[in-house]
């Protein structure tokens, strides 16, 4: 069996460092926030070239707290891509705002910058580009549109830790960058974990308050917040892994390009890499109208694959109240029907990859 992701392989490659980090945390007695979390927050901020990093309980919470910090709420509208994980839309709705979907570029799956302006209304407050699958969104046009219209930008960088747009790390262009350290991410914890980064000290302070019940001073709530603190155990594990993330991302890139070289000639639509992008391939996404047949064929051969995402968020039950319907965003809808993730993780061997390639090529022939 070839898994989609092998988390145990990564653990065993760093067992000594991770075990030591966990043991050190257990012996410290600091499990909620504390020096281990502070060190990791400083490390991710430094890695990304940002002033502030704030550890949180999940990437979803990162989006919620970012929206709250920018005072987004009832009656506001937030522009997001029509092809993304539901949390991008769900978090907007959870603060009382309305997600305004924009179709995606059919090749990169990133928000189509040429369609953003048409989605702006007097109620629009924020644009959330999603660096989907580890490929950067086209940030300069997005930032220009935001400036022209007085809008804030929150980057959903959950799938693109370490990716670059024009030589600068993604998650660092907008007012706030949101990170996820879900176990399968390029930098993954051993449970749920996330963070936000920003250069704005007032936003940093607000998000620190929001993650701990609205406190500046313990037990003295200044507003209704959340319990969304990064566990010290997760921070210790992530700190141990952080020095390896660039090496892992490079390996992902090499594996992905090898897939593309082998699969493009047989009619599989392979991922694009824009000239201005340095992707990190959180997922390797192929595309074919016979997606479901191919997935069934791979399963028979003991090869895992996954559909990300079978239902675009605008067609989900929670979004029905906004009146969106099938056909509103054709590129997003077609992508959801035709895309498939193949096994990809830094420890994937050449022989395992060859087995996947042979199976796909046989199917296509």
Q: pLDDT of the chain along its 365 residues, tens only?
A: 999 999 999 999 999 999 999 999 999 999 999 999 999 999 999 999 999 999 999 999 999 999 999 999 999 999 999 999 999 999 999 999 999 999 999 999 999 999 999 999 999 999 999 999 999 999 999 999 999 999 999 999 999 999 999 999 999 999 999 999 999 999 999 999 999 999 999 999 999 999 999 999 999 999 999 999 999 999 999 999 999 999 999 999 999 999 999 999 999 999 999 999 999 999 999 999 999 999 999 999 999 999 999 999 999 999 999 999 999 999 999 999 999 999 999 999 999 999 999 999 999 99
- Give the β-pairing of 77-81 and 98-102: parallel
| 244-364 CATH fold | 3.90.1150
CA–CA separation, 97 and 91 (whole Å): 9
For residues 95 and 225, the answer to whether their CB atoms sit within 8 Å is no
Where, residue-wise, is CATH 3.90.1150.10 in the chain? 244-364
Burial 128-154 (b: 16+ CB within 10 A, else e): bbbbbbbbbbbbeebbebbeeeebbbb
Task: Tell if the pTM clears 0.85, that is, is over it.
Answer: yes
Q: What is the CA radius of gyration of the chain?
A: 20
Please state which architecture CATH assigns to domain 7-102+109-243.
3-Layer(aba) Sandwich (3.40)
Give whole-number Cα distances, 234 to 25, 37, 100, 181, 242, in Å: 10, 8, 34, 9, 12
CATH 3.40.640.10 boundaries in the chain:
7-102+109-243
The answer to whether 172 and 48 are in contact (CB under 8 A) is yes
């Amino acid at each position: 069996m070839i898994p989609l992701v092998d988390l145990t392989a990564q653990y065993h490659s760093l067992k000594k460092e991770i075990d030591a980090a966990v043991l050190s945390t257990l012996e410290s007695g600091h499990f909620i926030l504390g020096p281990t979390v502070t060190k990791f927050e400083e490390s991710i901020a430094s890695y990304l070239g940002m002033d502030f990093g704030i550890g949180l309980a999940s990437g979803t919470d990162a989006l919620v707290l970012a929206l709250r910090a920018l005072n987004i709420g009832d009656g506001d509208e937030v522009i997001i891509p029509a092809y993304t994980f539901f949390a991008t839309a769900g978090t907007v709705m959870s603060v009382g705002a309305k997600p305004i979907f924009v179709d995606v570029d059919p090749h990169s799956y990133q928000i189509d910058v040429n369609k953003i302006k048409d989605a702006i209304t007097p109620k629009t407050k924020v644009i959330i580009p999603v660096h989907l699958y580890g490929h950067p969104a086209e940030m300069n046009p997005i930032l220009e549109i935001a400036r022209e219209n007085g809008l804030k930008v929150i980057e959903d960088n959950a799938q693109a830790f370490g990716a670059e747009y024009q030589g600068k790390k993604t998650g660092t262009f907008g007012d706030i960058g949101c990170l996820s350290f879900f176990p399968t991410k390029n930098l993954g914890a051993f449970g749920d974990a996330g963070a936000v980064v920003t250069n704005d000290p007032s936003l940093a302070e607000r998000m620190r308050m929001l993650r701990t019940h609205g406190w500046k001073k313990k037990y003295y709530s200044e507003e209704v917040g959340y319990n969304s603190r990064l566990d010290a155990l997760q921070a210790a594990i992530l700190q141990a892994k952080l020095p390896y993330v660039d090496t892992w991302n490079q390996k992902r890139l090499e594996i992905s390009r090898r897939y593309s070289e082998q699969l493009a000639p047989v009619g599989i639509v392979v991922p694009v890499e824009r000239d201005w992008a340095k992707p990190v391939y959180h997922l390797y996404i192929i595309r074919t109208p016979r997606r479901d047949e191919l997935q069934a064929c791979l399963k028979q051969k003991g090869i895992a694959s996954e559909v990300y995402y079978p239902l675009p968020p605008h067609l989900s039950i929670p979004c029905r109240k906004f009146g969106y319907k099938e056909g509103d965003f054709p590129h997003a809808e077609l992508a959801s029907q035709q895309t498939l993730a193949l096994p990809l993780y830094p420890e994937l061997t050449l022989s395992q990859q060859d087995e996947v390639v042979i199976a796909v090529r046989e199917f296509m022939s």
